[in-house]
Structure 1
Amino acid sequence: MDDFINQLQNYSDNLDSLVPSIEQKQRITQAGAKVLEKNLQEVTPVSKLNRKKDKHLKEYVMSQDTNVDGQEDGSSTVGFGKKAYIARFLNDGTVKMPATHFVDNAVNESKKEVLLANKAEYDKIMRGGK
């Protein structure tokens, strides 16, 4: 019976070494978020109007750590900040404007690259770069 308890304890210890902490998870998800942020900035349409006081929508693309109910859970989000409503109109369209789906396409095309960035950061943190 003691052998079985020792095996369970070893198994539990091995699992703990594979699960990242909240801070480590933030670093892992932020690596993927930076990749998506870069790709989304590249495909965000730019207005043809030359307004010196307003920035273009692509300048509002940002990534940040996410807080759920005031607590950090280690996840990251990518979005347009206070100009998200404009991005939604451009992406989904309106009655008078056709949809461009630039956000949807960027997310779908970036999935593999984001996951590879997450894996690379996970390996660097949890496995010492192996």
Structure 2
Amino acid sequence: MDFEDIMTGLSNIDEKVIPDTTTKRKMTEAGAKVLAEKLKEATPRTKHNDVKYGHLQDNVAYQDTDIDGEENGSSTVGYGKKAYVARFLNDGTVKMPATHFVDNVRRESSDAVFKAQREAYDKLIRGDQ
């Protein structure tokens, strides 16, 4: 077996194993859904009733595109128009201590997000049921 045969064999494996953009999109969407749920659970809920935007916890959303809406296999999780409020609560201000709830959720849910993405990969690429 020569070098060319080896490289041809590797390229055939890559086509079967490496996901295309549509598959990546479905994989990252599965992970984003898990992260959004975990973030919603951890987001503090105030007693204040904001008629215009609602509670920060109710504004957690995900999309299966990047932040600019481009379909490149990425997914995005965030707070929409209330993101600035989440930043103040997470990072703190001069008058308010930081809670780091977003940072903690990202760190603590990384295994669950990866598991959801892996399950989507197995289902889409390998045909696992």
TM-score, normalisation: structure 2: 0.90
* Alpha-carbon distance between aligned partners in 2 of 1:23 and 1:13, rounded to the nearest angstrom: 19
> Which one has a bigger Cα radius of gyration?
1
* Alpha-carbon distance between aligned partners in 1 of 2:67 and 2:92, rounded to the nearest angstrom: 30
Bigger shift: residues 44-53 or 114-123: 44-53
Partner amino acid, structure 2, of 1:20? P
Gaps of 5+ in 2: none
Partner amino acid, structure 1, of 2:124? I
The aligned residue for residue 31 of structure 1 is 30
* Alpha-carbon distance between aligned partners in 2 of 1:112 and 1:83, rounded to the nearest angstrom: 27
* Alpha-carbon distance between aligned partners in 1 of 2:117 and 2:21, rounded to the nearest angstrom: 14
Q: Deviation per CA, 1:14-56: give whole Å up to 9, x if none.
A: 1111111111100000000000000000010011123445411
Partner amino acid, structure 2, of 1:84? A
The aligned residue for residue 117 of structure 1 is 116
* Alpha-carbon distance between aligned partners in 2 of 1:122 and 1:49, rounded to the nearest angstrom: 42
Q: Deviation per CA, 1:90-124: give whole Å up to 9, x if none.
A: 10010011111110111111000000111011000
TM-score, normalisation: structure 1: 0.89
Gaps of 5+ in 1: none
* Alpha-carbon distance between aligned partners in 2 of 1:121 and 1:53, rounded to the nearest angstrom: 36
The aligned residue for residue 126 of structure 1 is 125
Number of aligned positions between the proteins: 129
Supply the RMSD in Å over aligned alpha carbons: 2.0
Deviation >2 Å, runs of 4+: 3-8, 50-54, 65-72
The aligned runs of 1:1-130 (5 Å cut-off) are 4-67=3-66, 71-129=70-128
Bigger shift: residues 104-113 or 70-79: 70-79
Partner amino acid, structure 2, of 1:128? G
**1:59–1:15 distance in 2 versus 1, CA, 3 Å:** same
Residue 64 of structure 1: how far off its partner (Å):
1.0
* Alpha-carbon distance between aligned partners in 1 of 2:32 and 2:61, rounded to the nearest angstrom: 9
Partner amino acid, structure 2, of 1:43? A
**1:43–1:68 distance in 2 versus 1, CA, 3 Å:** closer
% same residue: 53
Q: Find the residue that maps to 1:73 and give its secondary structure.
A: coil
